[in-house]
A = this chain, B = another copy of it.
Amino acid sequence: MSKDVRKIKTERDIQQALLTLLNSKTFRQVTVADICQHSMTSRSTFYAHYLDKYDLLDKMVDGFTQLFKSRVNLRFNQIINGETDALLRGLAVDMADNRDALLTLFTVHEPNADLEANFRTLLLKEWKQFIKNSGGNMKVPEDLMASMGMNVQMTVIQWALAHGEVEIDAVAAAINTIRKAILLQIQPED
């Protein structure tokens, strides 16, 4: 049942071609012919794999969204006590493999294909759950703190992707300050 390697190769080439083209063009400006030319595939083959360029983008965004989703669940489930800073940075290193692809796709915002929005939605959902499970009396609205946590984490992820996770320790201190302020609101019983 597993795919023919030719399918894997062409899909890889097509997707890589789109990412490359997105460095010099808007997604709207990219044409199917462009993608085929860069990936060295015929247009008939392209349409054998995707309905159109929007379908291609959808599937790429969906793929990374699913990958991120599994990682998010894993990371949040692994949290014990005081490991929230590991969470903040952990997701960044998780996605480091797909550094270029993610950074590029973050710049694309189409109605049904918005990777950054998907990431934010997933994180927000997990933060709400996390706050609810921690069960303390909140001084401020829980949704506000969830949004705060999500935004801080998203900032870390994007910064790490853009600058390389090597120097991530340099900002750890600054992030820590913010993190403590947030956690103080989330778990006031500490």
Cα distance, A21 to B5, chains bound together (Å): 20
Cα distance, A41 to B9, chains bound together (Å): 10
Using CB atoms, name the residue of chain B closest to A12: B40
Q: What's the dominant secondary structure at chain A's contact region?
A: helix
Cα distance, A40 to B9, chains bound together (Å): 8
- Contact among B8, B40, B41, B42 for A40, CB-based, below 8 A: B8
Cα distance, A114 to B93, chains bound together (Å): 42
Using CB atoms, name the residue of chain B closest to A10: B9
Question: In the complex, what's the smallest C-beta–C-beta distance from A38 to chain B, in angstroms?
Answer: 12
Using CB atoms, name the residue of chain B closest to A8: B40
Measured between beta carbons, the chain B residues less than 8 angstroms from A40 are 5, 8-9
Cα distance, A13 to B9, chains bound together (Å): 10
Measured between beta carbons, the chain B residues less than 8 angstroms from A42 are 5
Find residues 1-40 in chain A having any chain B CB closer than 8 Å to their own CB.
5, 8-9, 13, 40
Measured between beta carbons, the chain B residues less than 8 angstroms from A13 are 9
Cα distance, A9 to B42, chains bound together (Å): 13
Interface residues as binary, A162-182 with B (CB distance below 8 Å gives 1, 0 otherwise): 000000000000000000000
Cα distance, A13 to B39, chains bound together (Å): 13
Question: In the complex, what's the smallest C-beta–C-beta distance from A2 to chain B, in angstroms?
Answer: 13
Using CB atoms, name the residue of chain B closest to A9: B40
A-B contact pairs, 6 of them (CB 8 A): A5-B40, A5-B41, A5-B42, A8-B40, A9-B13, A9-B40
The 6 A-B pairs at the shortest CB distance, nearest first, are namely: A5-B40, A9-B40, A8-B40, A5-B42, A5-B41, A9-B13
